[in-house]
Amino acid sequence: MNLRTNDLPLAPPVRGRTPLVATGFTVAAMVMYFASVFGVYLKERALVRAEGLPWIPNKAKIELTQPGMVIWTLIISIVVMQWAVYSIKRDDRQHALLGIGTTVVMGAMVVVQTTWHLSQTNLIADEGPTTAATLIFTIVGSYLVAVVIGMIILTLTGFRTMAGQYGSKQTDGVVAASLYWYSLVFIYFIIWIAVYIAK
């Protein structure tokens, strides 16, 4: 049988994955934003170090305990968020809600730990503003804003899940929220390495 593609009937309309596409581009924009700020950070750090000067002010203390806790919190949040996605795909709204809610709480933990950590770094108190302090505050501050936005998105997704908008036939909203959340974990991983570990 010589059947050309054009002879076949058109496929039935498929629901567009609108939230997923929009989230994909939002994540792309966010990655470009952090790439821009990281670019400035790494360039300036290289310039200061090339002069033989310390990048982090001498009296500043960047402990690794809290960033370590944050990265573990975020890694666990990936599992929890994926649990929510897994549950919604099986119409298990109760566990999906539990997963989303737990992820929001973990987001709050990230905000609290990071804010407290910044207050303990002594980046400005003794030596006044430095380039390192400016850029660390910009990167970490922007990241906290992104986390809070993520928590708002997750909360809205939770309400919609509760209202029955999402289920096994329509998982887009939950999957999109998870995509945003995973991108936050990825970005924090870069912050953890570039800012906290490598200093």
Sign of the torsion formed by the C-alpha atoms of 189, 194, 196 and 198: positive
Q: Cα(199)–Cα(192) distance, rounded to whole angstroms?
A: 9
Tokens of residue 30, six digits: 């966010």
- By beta-carbon proximity to another protein, the closer residue of 83 and 175 is 175
| Binding flag, residue 135, another protein (CB under 8 A) | yes
Burial profile 51-84: b = 16 or more Cβ within 10 angstroms, e = fewer: eeeebbbeebebeeebbeebbebbeebbebbebb
| Binding flag, residue 37, another protein (CB under 8 A) | yes
| Binding flag, residue 39, another protein (CB under 8 A) | yes
Tokens of residue 137, six digits: 């505050």
Q: How far is the CB of 22 from another protein (least distance, A)?
A: 4
Question: Which of 86, 137, 186, 192 touches another protein by CB under 8 A?
Answer: 137
| Binding flag, residue 16, another protein (CB under 8 A) | yes
Q: Which residues bind another protein (CB under 8 A)?
A: 10-11, 13, 15-19, 21-22, 25-26, 28-30, 32-37, 39-40, 43, 124, 128-131, 134-135, 137-138, 141-142, 156, 172-173
